[in-house]
Chain A
Amino acid sequence: MKTQKLTEQLELFGCIQCGKCTGGCPVARKTTLNIRTLIYHMLVDPSMDVDAHQELWDCTACFTCVERCPKDVEPAELIISLRGELVEGGRVPETLGTALMGIFRQGNPSGMARQDRELWAAGMEESLERAKGLATRARDASSAQEECELLYFVGCIPSYDPRIQPVARALLRTFEGAGLHPGTLGTRESCCGSEVRRMGEAGLFGMLVEENGELLRSVGARQLVTTSPHCFNTFRKEYGLDGMEVLHYTQLVARLIDEGKLTFPEPSEARQEEHRTVTYHDPCFLGKQNQIYDEPRAILEAIPGLKLVEMDRRRERSLCCEGGGGRMWVEGTNLQERLAFQRVQEAAETGADTLAVACPFCLLTLEDAVKVQGLDEQLRVMDIMELVDACGAMPHVER
């Protein structure tokens, strides 16, 4: 591969080789990935053998390097572009290829049938139908019925993964409880493409942006809320959804609590969730990449009886769980030292009995790690939404 064009495109000439990127890279400490030296090669070598850099697939797209670079270089974008070179030549790890194919054919990385996308709402069919109706009616402007103010984008993992489906249900239940009537797209919803872009499949991502963008705009909602920080991040920064406020659910729920539209009952013996000691893990796509640190904590602190303790590495220093950037579908080069293992140990050391997360990927990777590390007796991984739901969040007055 010729380096010149990409070097100019990504403005790598601004790099002073200080190493703040590699120094902060969570996977550099355990694999051969060194983003600074990759940039250096780009700067001084006219050509690069991209195939020799299989460690490119180790990057989790946590964007710590981008956040910390003092010269506004975006190191992770180089990795994405180099992955693009590999994708272009069809040289991708097989499991990644399968995920991309699933998204292309069925709109989700697991390759599950598109018509099964709304199975997450099992047991809440009435709510689902109503939500779908809202989003559809709003689409044909002829009917001057209820407008769809808020659109709930469920996302692939919450739609299909049985471990995450309850999070989506909890969300819908909580919103309805607070008097909100979100619309959803049902089986018309497709993958947001966040990880597609980060795996280097720019073409497919462009297609998804176009199709999803058109669909989302056609609903005419004022707000778009997502389960996953990954969907949230791409909609917010990479879709150009002008006039639509893109929110992660933690922002919306914190707002509802703040406005008194969502309150929690006094603690009761029956609900043991309320007596938990919780530590919170900041997801990279919510925290580092979007500076949403306070809202998730505000939600946890609003739950009576629940005690929040902090890990040393929190907020800007949160440790990546290794679930982003396509890493849900490719193992990477060092399986022994998973960051998630380290992370759950850190959580356990706080004395907390619950590790709260706000991201489907984090939930899956950390829960796995808890099992592998033999911490399941001691530590339970829960999404914030599950805690909110379990603690009986309710609207202020009625019901």
Chain B
Amino acid sequence: MEQEPRIGVYVCHCGVNIAAAVDVEHVARAAAELPGVVVARDNTYMCSDPGQALIKQDIREHGLNRVVVASCSPRMHERTFRAAAQQEGVNPYQVEMANIREQCSWVHRDKSRATEKAGLLIASAVAKAARLEPLEQREVDVTPGVVIIGGGIAGMTVALDVADTGLPAYLVEREESLGGRVAELNRTFPSLQPVSDLLQPLIARVQDHPNVTVFLTSCVSQVDGYIGNFEVEISGYGETGTPAGGDPASKSGTPRAGLSVGSIIVATGYDVFDPQRTPELGYRDYPNVITSLEMEERLIQGDLTVDGRRPERVAFVKCVGSRDARLGNPHCSRVCCMYTAKQARLVREMLPEAEVTVFYIDVRAFSKGGEEFYDETRSQGVRYRRANVSEIYRKRSAPGVDAGLAPRAGAAPVLLVAEDTLLGQPIEFEADLVVLAVGMEPRKNAGVIQKLLKLPRSADGFFLEAHPKLRPVDTAMDGIFLAGCCQGPKDIPDTVAQAKAAASSALIPLIRGSVPVESASAVVNGELCAGCAMCADVCPYDAAALDDLWGTSRINPVLCKGCGACAVTCPSSAIHLQHFTAEQVLAQVDALVE
């Protein structure tokens, strides 16, 4: 069914984005002369409705069977043009794009040479288009059910949303109880509601829900499959000698369950910055220098004394381990400003006679009710000083310190050394209790989940969302979604919002009942395959494997993402990647170098 190529070429001005650097009319005229091209046009915005209408009209009037659009990156609008062509009966895989914006007009200034390059890119796309074959759009059925990794507030929220639809939710938690980091907190900001008031009912609902299965002291040890049909193995965490906090994917634990599900949610949370990495702040040198999480514990206990004495001066030091490039944590942890305000206020309540001072670089009170809470905190008498504390030490001759070699352990005050940047003066500030507002970091063992699920991470080490604005809970792996602080620091409201978003995204394929799979997959020619399995070695998606019966390679078209690694590795050229065949690619190259 070889068709004679009838190609339409559409050159986009993208307003002035392309037209300013490329003579679009000239390249359209030149494209009209290329072999197989029936019609070539230029238009201000090809992606607009009139632009798409133009393509559709030409397909009808000129009987086009291939479409080449010269515009922006295919990441931007390939889907748009494929859909337009498909509506007129052209196979979506017979649409080709030439990127003359990002790869041409935006990066070149010399108009004549940019025009020449655009012409070549279009000729190259036309050469490929002439050789494109129609591919079938395929769908596979899905297995209902969701595995959620992490039983903190994010994971529990997802589990309940999934379970409430009537589908099974499997919640995997490595610790002995649910609740995660939130369970370590005292009260929330800005409402000052006790954490137990919001957490306990949530845990109870999860435990009682007929559709939620909770696996405690468990971890995910193996994941196979693909969107709609994952096979997940659950093992005991920390069993047979694996230290808690060790490798959560350790296979040392006995497999507890094998689950078949359609989606996976990662809600593995964060680690707290260890201030021993900022030795200038004296954490662990002085018992009265504590972290904010240790402060939460003290607030829960209701005990703020230092060596049995009520502290008279309490200092908070913000941005410890956050916004700090030298520590590899350039990010803002987003919660420290507010939890510090909260703690400072609680200290004011518990120790009305004490002086409470917060040392800050900037105050970021952006959450709903945040600025109002900050205002209230100051009006309660908490002092804010703009200073990034540079050093904490103790003068041996300071009051309360015994003479001799060993300073008395807890009670002696420490000195905070800083510059008050509003006064423009270096200061030494004496405090009886210092709280280091430690930030959030990616889990130290995030690499385990990264490998297990093949998830990319962003430069800050947190898991990377598919798009920072438009796909904030999706990952590069279809069917795997992110919730909570594993994707980046968040407060409780943001975590819950993201968890609910992840739940709804994860449910889409499950409710739809099937998922579309990539058609541009690799295909093995069994006649040529020698069974060397090098394709299986390079495949990042475990799609290639040797057939048990024939000993030759087979590629699972559902797992295959069409990356082409196997096709270029195969020493016998037995694998070809549909939509990127050797013939198509070589024709593209020839058109460029001719």
Q: A-side interface residues toward B, CB under 8 Å?
A: 16-25, 28-29, 34, 36-37, 64, 67-72, 309, 312-313, 315-317, 346, 349-351
Whether A317 contacts B280 in the complex (CB less than 8 A), given A17-B421, A71-B325, comes out as yes
Q: Is the CB of B421 within 8 A of A72?
A: no
Report chain A residues within 8 Å CB of B386.
19
Q: Is the CB of B393 within 8 A of A313?
A: yes
Q: Could you jot down 21 A-B contacts, CB within 8 Å? A: A18-B421, A20-B389, A23-B387, A24-B390, A24-B391, A29-B417, A29-B426, A29-B428, A34-B419, A36-B421, A69-B326, A70-B324, A70-B327, A309-B405, A312-B394, A312-B395, A317-B279, A317-B280, A317-B391, A349-B396, A351-B404
Report chain A residues within 8 Å CB of B417.
23-24, 29
Closest-CB distance, A12 to chain B (whole angstroms) = 15
**B359-408, CB < 8 A from A:** 361-362, 386-391, 393-397, 404-405, 407
Report chain B residues within 8 Å CB of A29.
417, 426, 428
Interface size on B, residues (CB 8 A): 35
Q: From B418, which residue of chain A is reached at the shortest CB distance?
A: A23
**B461-516, CB < 8 A from A:** none
Assembly CA distance A309 to B393 (angstroms): 17
B82 within 8 A of A: no
Report chain B residues within 8 Å CB of A21.
390, 419
A-B CB contacts (within 8 Å), total count: 92
Assembly CA distance A375 to B311 (angstroms): 36
B282 within 8 A of A: yes
**B417-462, CB < 8 A from A:** 417-421, 424, 426-428
Q: From A29, which residue of chain B is reached at the shortest CB distance?
A: B426
Assembly CA distance A241 to B214 (angstroms): 60
Assembly CA distance A72 to B404 (angstroms): 40
Report chain A residues within 8 Å CB of B280.
24, 68, 316-317
Report chain B residues within 8 Å CB of A313.
393
Assembly CA distance A23 to B391 (angstroms): 8
Report chain B residues within 8 Å CB of A309.
405
Assembly CA distance A323 to B379 (angstroms): 47
Assembly CA distance A37 to B405 (angstroms): 39
Report chain A residues within 8 Å CB of B394.
312
- Choose among B326, B419, B421 the residue with the greatest number of A CB atoms under 10 Å from its CB: B419
Report chain A residues within 8 Å CB of B426.
22-23, 25, 28-29, 34
Assembly CA distance A71 to B420 (angstroms): 18
Closest-CB distance, A322 to chain B (whole angstroms) = 16
Q: From B389, which residue of chain A is reached at the shortest CB distance?
A: A23
**B323-340, CB < 8 A from A:** 323-327
Q: Is the CB of B388 within 8 A of A20?
A: yes
Closest-CB distance, A25 to chain B (whole angstroms) = 7
Assembly CA distance A350 to B280 (angstroms): 20
Q: Is the CB of A36 within 8 A of B404?
A: no
Assembly CA distance A37 to B279 (angstroms): 26
Report chain A residues within 8 Å CB of B420.
19
Q: Is the CB of B325 within 8 A of A19?
A: no
Q: Is the CB of B396 within 8 A of A23?
A: no
Q: Is the CB of A19 within 8 A of B393?
A: no
List 15 additional A-B contacts (Cβ < 8 Å) besides A19-B420, A24-B390: A16-B362, A18-B388, A19-B387, A19-B419, A21-B419, A23-B417, A23-B419, A23-B426, A28-B426, A68-B390, A70-B327, A309-B405, A316-B279, A351-B404, A351-B405
